[in-house]
Homo-oligomer: A and B are copies of this chain.
Amino acid sequence: MNATDGPPGVPLGEPVRREDDILERIAAIVGRRNTPVGEVHVGDDAAVLAPFVGQTLVSTDTAVWGVHLDATLFPLEDLGFKAVAAAVSDLAAMGARARAIVVAVTAPPGTDLEELHRGIADAASATDCPIVGGDLSVGRDVAVAVTVLGECPGKGAVLRSGAQPGDQILITGPLGRSAAGLRLRRTGAGLDHPLVVAHRRPWPRLAEGVAARSAAVHAMMDVSDGLALDLHRLCDASAVGFELDDVPAAEGATAEEALSGGEDYELLIVTDAPARLDLIFHSRGLAAPLAIGRIVADRATRGLRGAHLERRGWQHSL
């Protein structure tokens, strides 16, 4: 952890030892036992990483306690897990390999920072990506700003903007699990209910993203704010329209949750060669993506089974 910067001239006393103690305990939670040769993680002004292969990718996302996760229904460590998983999913969406994570936390005095960082460490470990640095500040909110770094060798990252008329639209799995999990939790389901787990501990589709990049798909993104918003965004970026035949709902999720729930982090894939995609997914032991529709040239065509699909999903009011 780097030292935090602050206003000058305030003499130190007990708080210093307190912060040093906390940073040491956090480093023990998030740090790897072995730092690769030639790398420096926590402890210097910046982390030093061995050279990346190909393009460098970077994305940043903040999760705020009580805004991005209901503080009355879920433990604090889930906030850490979700923040990291959401950020890593942005790398999956480009077909990148995850290389490193840095985490900047603000929290009011007295927050259980160890619990929060256990969730952060769990997600880092689940995605096999090291936490290489961080920062700790006092604030009124518990907020976790996660920045992820990835690399894309070969022909590079898959963008949102490459969809072509006639391409097929696929999704890596059925949707609505996270929204259904939140609904069930609100009505008393336990934290270990599979759908509640899908909400608490989302799984970034890194392997699927890399496989899709290998299959030279035209466009890709992750479904973080709901298909009914994210597919519009992909088509805006590509200057095309879409016709959906179907939106596959996960078992236990409603059609509405599948359409606009968000936070499932399935990948939306657009390709002119779905058979090749299938083959590559199959050869890597990944579930076959589900075909849900096709790209059309007319930008204004945004259809689901013939009806117009409105743009909706979750956004901040600022």
Interface residues of A (CB under 8 A from B): 2-12, 14-16, 18-20, 22, 38, 40, 43-52, 54-64, 67-70, 86, 89-91, 93-94, 96, 99-100, 102-107, 109, 111, 113, 132-141, 143, 145, 147-150, 152, 156-157, 159-161, 178-179, 182-183, 221-222, 224-226, 229-230, 233, 237, 256-257, 260-263, 311-318
Contacts and interface: CB of A to CB of B under 8 A. Distances in A.
A272 to B, nearest CB: 20
A46 B6 contact: no
Contacts of A7: 67-70, 182, 263, 314
Contact of A9 (B56, B62, B314): B314
A123 B111 CA distance: 32
B257 A61 contact: no
Contact of A141 (B9, B139, B260): B139
Nearest to A310: B12
A86 B45 CA distance: 11
Contacts of A8: 178-179, 182, 226, 257, 260-263, 314
Contact of A317 (B19, B40, B58): B19
5 contacts: A6-B225, A6-B316, A52-B56, A56-B56, A60-B135
Contacts of A224: 3, 5
Contacts of A10: 314
A interface SS class: mixed
Given A139-B143, A315-B15, A58 B47 contact: yes
A145 B68 contact: no
Contacts of A106: 62, 64, 141, 143
Contacts of A59: 2, 45-47, 102, 133
Contacts of A257: 8-9
A176 to B, nearest CB: 8
B48 A147 contact: no
Nearest to A314: B6
Contact of A143 (B67, B113, B143): B143
Closest 6 CB pairs of A and B: A145-B145, A15-B317, A46-B59, A8-B179, A45-B93, A147-B147
Given A56-B149, A109-B318, A135 B262 contact: no
